[in-house]
Amino acid sequence: MKKKLNIRDTGVTVVDILGLIGQGKTFSQILALYPQLTLTDILAAAQIAADIIERYVTTNQDITIDTQIQVIARSGRLVDLADVRQEYPRAYEPWDEKEEARLKELFQAEMPFKDIAAKLQRNVGAIISRLKRLRLIK
């Protein structure tokens, strides 16, 4: 009988966590499903998988994965960028000249920050920061 690689005494296996990550679940979603876990547990599961692959998996050709998961530090904690982008689709994307021009136009039309943020699909903090950078507000 095969034994499972369990995470501490949680009743959750490394394969359970990797499966959820593979389905695109965010850290927050995994922690909501398994409140007995911590972020460290999820990261440890990924590290175990990385160690096993590095040590034991070989292929006769290179394999390239062309996707990425982005995690950012925000207010002293790690945040999955996919979570943020569910509410603000353009969060943390670079600003281009066209979008800055649109921001100036909306600001000069005296549109409230929250409405500008909704139109530009960014959060209010990003709008205020960009307006400061453009020296339109202090």
- Position 3 scores a pLDDT of 79
Percentage of the chain modeled with pLDDT above 70: 88
Comparing CA positions, the residue from 91, 82, 80 lying closest to residue 120 is 91
Comparing CA positions, the residue from 47, 30, 46 lying closest to residue 38 is 30
Domain ranges, ordered by start, for the chain: 1-60, 83-138
- Range name among 5-9, 26-30, 61-65, 89-93 with the lowest pLDDT average: 61-65
Determine the Cα angle at 20 with ends 34 and 74, to 5°.
75
CA–CA dist 28, 39 (Å, integer): 9
122 contacts 88 by C-beta, under 8 angstroms: yes
For the chain, the average pLDDT equals 86
Beta-strand relationship, 77-80 and 71-74: antiparallel
CA–CA dist 95, 123 (Å, integer): 13
- Position 23 scores a pLDDT of 84
At position 121, the amino acid (one-letter code) is Q
Question: What topology does CATH give the domain 1-60?
Answer: Arc Repressor Mutant, subunit A (1.10.10)
CA–CA dist 30, 21 (Å, integer): 8
Determine how many CB atoms are found less than 10 A away from the CB of residue 92.
Answer: 15
CA–CA dist 131, 101 (Å, integer): 11
Average pLDDT over residues 76-103: 84
pLDDT of 90-129, one tens digit each? 988 889 999 999 999 999 999 999 999 999 999 998 999 9
- Position 55 scores a pLDDT of 83
Q: Judge whether residue 82 has pLDDT over 80.
A: no
pLDDT of 49-73, one tens digit each? 888 888 877 777 776 665 555 666 6
- Position 134 scores a pLDDT of 93
Average pLDDT over residues 32-52: 91
Average pLDDT over residues 28-52: 91
